[in-house]
Structure 1
Amino acid sequence: MTAPVRIADGATVGLLHPGDRVDVVAADSRGAVRVVAAGARVTEVPDVDATETGALVVLAVPRPTAVRLAGAGTTSRLAVTLR
C-alpha cells in the first residue's frame, strides 16, 4: 500500500526520487528516536514547495507499517535516511 508521509525537513525530500529506499525515523518531543519504517520504497515525490512544516513524500509499505507511519506522523517529527 502507499502512505503519504510529511517529512519535517522539506529540503531532504528534495533529494529523493521514485525508487529510492529510505528508513523513516520518528523523534518525539522528549528526544526519543525510533525507526518507524525500514527500507520503504519512494513511489512519488509530489512537486510541491517545502514549507516550514516539511514536505510530502509517498512511500510503498506494508499495511502495518502504513499504520505506524500515520500514527507517528501525528505525534513525532519524521525524518528519512537514504539506504
Structure 2
Amino acid sequence: MPPCTTFDWMAGLPGWEPCPQGERLDLPLDVFVHRSGMAEQDWAFAFVSWASDRLIRTGEWYELQTHTLPGGTEGVRIVRERPPHA
C-alpha cells in the first residue's frame, strides 16, 4: 500500500476536537497500527511519508505523538492543521 493512502482513513474519522494547533484525535496505538495495516515497527516512518504527501496534496499538516491515554493504554495523538481555505 503506498504511503499516500495508508493513513487516509483517519482524516475522515469523527472525534476530531479543536486544539490550539487546529484539531486533534486520540487513538489507542494498537487500533492505529491495525487500521493502518502497518507492522508495529514500520508505522512511524510510513506516517511521516504519508503526512508529507498529504501536505503536498491537500495543504493539511499532520503531527503525531505517542502518549498514555486515560486508563494507562498506550496511544497516539494526531494533530491536524488545515490550510486557511479548507
- Normalising by structure 1, report the TM-score: 0.30
Higher helix proportion: 2
Q: Which has the higher contact order (CA 8 A, sep 6+)?
A: 1
Instruction: Normalising by structure 2, report the TM-score.
Output: 0.30
Structure number with the higher strand fraction is: 1
Query: Highest Rg: 1 or 2?
Result: 2
